[in-house]
Structure 1
Amino acid sequence: MIKARFPYTLVVIFICLLSSVSVFAQSKKQQELENRRQELRNEIEQINSMLFKNKSKEKSQLSLIQDLNHKINVRSNLIKVTNQQANLLTREIGVNQREITQLREDLENLKKDYAQMIVHSYKSRSEQSRVMFLLSSSNFQQAYKRLQYITQYTTYQKEQAASIKIKTEDLKVANANLLKQKADKQELIKDNSIAQGQLELERRQQRTLMASIQKDLKTYSSQIKQKQQEANKIDREIEKLIREAIAKSNKKAGKSTTAKGFALTPEAKSLAASFVANKGKLPWPVQKGVVTLRYGNQPHPIVKSATIHSNGVRIATSPGAEVRAVFNGEVYAIIVQKKGNPTVLVQHGNYFTAYKNLSKVYVKKGDKVVTSQAIGQVFTNSSTGDTTLSFSIFKESTTQNPSLWLYKM
């Protein structure tokens, strides 16, 4: 009787192990989705705070529609992630329900077996019957095997009692988890319903603004072109300064001034190596912010015929926000152009970081700066209420994608 149950026990253990692995994988995925959902919710809060709160009525329709588009994209992603969570919970609930059914069946079988053992034990409860069972053996080997059987049977009886207790507790935990999962799913459905309503409202606003913009598309195209020219001008100035820095380093090292790369000192090499080692882990240049323009060439979200060329990222932040150095380095230049706001250029070996559109500058050329040190303040446009920092990274004079360098951009 006992030996026959060992294979069954092994099968049950194997199934439980597979189930545990599956549940662990699902729980990990659920946590990843929840983390992403919270990130998106926080981003929407920052968008509301930095792009839509206390904004001037003079804010251009072009800026409004760009901000609204960004908000719609983030909210759409939030709805998508929440749906993924709800669907995963549905699958987890199904798994749990099947597990509970199996636990109930196992518990019922254990109780039946245990009841039969109790009856059998009661019938053969006297010590005399056990002794007679041993003495009636035909030889010593048979008596030894019968003694082993009695010992195993008693042990198995105790194990069955313990198994019943464990299964009962497992069933309680599974039921509690199931109730929590169902409550979590209802909460997700409720959140998504609210988000869907907000998304529809924002899309109606978007359609209204788009209809207004279409009436005067030429004017908006001209504004976009002018902004691109201003951005290109400061980028050309930065690239010129970097080329000059490369030439100076090579001249100082006794090399050709036409060489494309830096002739770095051992100290500068070490700094550059540390900068590279921290790729993906650098702090943001502002404490809080929302990326409103990403790196690279991209079609304008409103005027499809226009192309945006971005050598860095544009980050909307709060009025009065301070700009922070993203890594140790030396201030190579403070760039001030006519009809433009200051730019701070910081050197990190053969890498440079540029912080554009500042209202105040706390450092001067030649100053040593450390990671997260405040180097200035972001400019706030009094007419529109926008507070936006443009940030770029260069290796020599080649632009880099800041989202690959800054932490979780």
Structure 2
Amino acid sequence: MMSFKKLFVFLALLCIAGTSIAQSSAELKRRKDALTREIAELKRSQSKVTKNKRLSLRQINVLNTQIRLREEKIRTINSEVKLLNNQITESSNTVRSLQAQLDKLKKEYAGMVLFAFRNQSSYGKLMFIFASDNFNQAYKRLKYLQQFGDYRKKQARYIRETQQELGMKITELDRNKKQKSNLLHSQENEKVTLGKEKKNQAVELSKLTKQERQLRQEVSRKQKEVAQLNRSINAAINREIAEARRRAEAEARAEAAKTGTTAKPVASGSKVLATTPEAAKLSADFLSNRGRLPWPVSTGNTVAHFGTNRYGNVTVENNGVDIETPPGSSVRAVFSGEVTKVLNLGGAYVVLIKHGEYFTVYSNLRSASVSQGEKVSVKQTIGTVITDNVDGTTQLHFEIRKGATAMNPESWLAN
């Protein structure tokens, strides 16, 4: 017979497994909903620039990102379907197990009812007790009759609980089957849409091939802009390093003169930026938040990644990431620090913020609301993103540097 303890453990394990699956399902649904919102935002952005006859690198980036997000959404739906398949299999197994247990409990209970019916008279019970060989045996028989009655009640309760659990599992199984059907339908729709987007991408890339001369001119212009931005950023960072070295050397000489010893050598390279206790703590705090930094805009999608980006037969190197965001979006500091430089390059602003040995760069701003030397806090607004008058895109260029060395921002920002 199945003991109460075994049944309790079995039901508890079902609850734990159900909670774990529910959490996984909820995470996948949240990711799918987030991808749907990001795709919709990109489509709105794209619809504003489709009337432009001139094709730009930024427009291609938006289209490529839209396809990438659509593919990720399909993969997420696939994961949901796999999870539901596992849930359906598990629920089916559980239903069979519960049904077998219920049948066994009912059979055992029927046997007890039959036994009780045959021995239901008070006379029979008394004779059973009085027929004992001694007082100890009579006492044990009396306790047996009492325990038998209690056990019948427990078995009846086990049957009710098992029936309830069985009904819940059957309902859950039906719900999961309907959900799987809806997901498969949604998946087919997404695949059809993806096919259309890829066809549109092929058309646009074909335009790029025909406009290769124009594209190369734009790439050349882009490379000049990148080179100018890099020179300006490097110059500002190198000035910071040189100034920090000058202060550190002056302090070392002053300390040596006071103690009558030889001046200690100062830290080399960008490490000199973190020689003071405050700067060292800021650097350590910034590093410890790798992978958890907030995005520099509240809403956006990465449309050009760190490193080499290819457009047809030409490539562009990117020292940061380009983030497509709605027009008029505010830009915010990803960490507390000090504004090192505010530049105006070709009508667009660049803000450079120092975080000890690290720097963050916010480029392509329409306006800047901070000034050089100002202390800023995490998520403080520092400006707004500019919208390109020619292609209608609104994209923030964002970089993270350790000293003058560019690092991949995607490994620093929160997912």
Three-state SS of the structure 2 residue aligned to 1:262 is helix
Q: Describe how 1:147-226 pairs up with structure 2 within 5 A.
A: 147-226=142-221
Q: Distance in 2 between matches of 1:317 and 1:299?
A: 19
1:323 is displaced (CA, Å) by 1.2
Pairing partner for 1:137 from 132, 136, 157: 132
Q: Does 1:227 align with 2:235?
A: no
Tell me which residue corresponds to 2:362.
355
1:357 is displaced (CA, Å) by 0.8
1:203 is displaced (CA, Å) by 1.6
1:386 is displaced (CA, Å) by 0.9
User: TM-score scaled by structure 2?
Assistant: 0.88
Q: Distance in 1 between matches of 2:378 and 2:356?
A: 15
Pairing partner for 2:272 from 257, 262, 277: 262
Q: Which moved more, 1:173-182 or 1:19-28?
A: 19-28
Q: Distance in 2 between matches of 1:61 and 1:244?
A: 35
Tell me which residue corresponds to 2:332.
324
Tell me if the contact between 1:323 and 1:375 (Cα under 8 Å) persists in the aligned partners: yes
Tell me which residue corresponds to 1:272.
283
Q: Does 1:387 align with 2:399?
A: no
Tell me which residue corresponds to 1:104.
99
Distance 1:386 1:61, change over 3 A: closer
Q: Which moved more, 1:371-380 or 1:143-152?
A: 143-152
Distance 1:257 1:21, change over 3 A: closer
Tell me which residue corresponds to 1:315.
323
TM-align CA RMSD: 2.4
Q: Which moved more, 1:15-24 or 1:74-83?
A: 15-24
Q: Distance in 2 between matches of 1:112 and 1:55?
A: 72
Q: What are the Cα deviations for residues 92-142 of structure 1, in whole angstroms up to 9, with x where unaligned?
A: 112212222222232233223222322221221122221211111112333
1:55 is displaced (CA, Å) by 5.2
Q: Distance in 2 between matches of 1:61 and 1:230?
A: 15
The amino acid that maps onto 2:304 is L
Query: Which runs of no fewer than 5 residues in structure 2 stay unpaired?
Result: 253-264
1:245 is displaced (CA, Å) by 0.6
Q: Which moved more, 1:111-120 or 1:344-353?
A: 111-120
Q: Does 1:72 align with 2:75?
A: no
Q: Does 1:246 align with 2:241?
A: yes
Three-state SS of the structure 2 residue aligned to 1:48 is helix
1:258 is displaced (CA, Å) by 8.9
The amino acid that maps onto 1:280 is G
Q: Distance in 2 between matches of 1:119 and 1:131?
A: 19
Tell me if the contact between 1:325 and 1:370 (Cα under 8 Å) persists in the aligned partners: yes
Query: Which runs of no fewer than 5 residues in structure 1 stay unpaired?
Result: none
Q: Among all aligned residue pairs of Structure 1 and Structure 2, give the percentage whose two residues are the same amino acid.
A: 32
Pairing partner for 2:379 from 368, 372, 393: 372
Q: Which moved more, 1:376-385 or 1:123-132?
A: 123-132
Pairing partner for 1:286 from 297, 322, 341: 297
Tell me which residue corresponds to 1:396.
403
The amino acid that maps onto 2:296 is P
Tell me if the contact between 1:353 and 1:391 (Cα under 8 Å) persists in the aligned partners: yes
Q: What are the Cα deviations for residues 25-46 of structure 1, in whole angstroms up to 9, with x where unaligned?
A: 4434323322222222122122
1:56 is displaced (CA, Å) by 4.5
Tell me if the contact between 1:247 and 1:258 (Cα under 8 Å) persists in the aligned partners: no
Tell me if the contact between 1:56 and 1:385 (Cα under 8 Å) persists in the aligned partners: no
Q: What are the Cα deviations for residues 273-302 of structure 1, in whole angstroms up to 9, with x where unaligned?
A: 33223322222111211111122x2340x3
Q: Distance in 2 between matches of 1:383 and 1:287?
A: 25
User: TM-score scaled by structure 1?
Assistant: 0.89
Pairing partner for 1:33 from 17, 21, 28: 28
Q: Distance in 2 between matches of 1:84 and 1:145?
A: 60
Tell me if the contact between 2:339 and 2:351 (Cα under 8 Å) persists in the aligned partners: yes
1:10 is displaced (CA, Å) by 7.1
Tell me if the contact between 2:341 and 2:351 (Cα under 8 Å) persists in the aligned partners: yes
Tell me if the contact between 1:286 and 1:324 (Cα under 8 Å) persists in the aligned partners: yes
1:242 is displaced (CA, Å) by 0.9
Q: Which moved more, 1:122-131 or 1:216-225?
A: 216-225
1:158 is displaced (CA, Å) by 0.8
- Aligned residue-pair number: 399
Three-state SS of the structure 2 residue aligned to 1:366 is coil
Distance 1:251 1:128, change over 3 A: same
Q: Distance in 2 between matches of 1:257 and 1:364?
A: 30
Q: Does 1:333 align with 2:344?
A: no
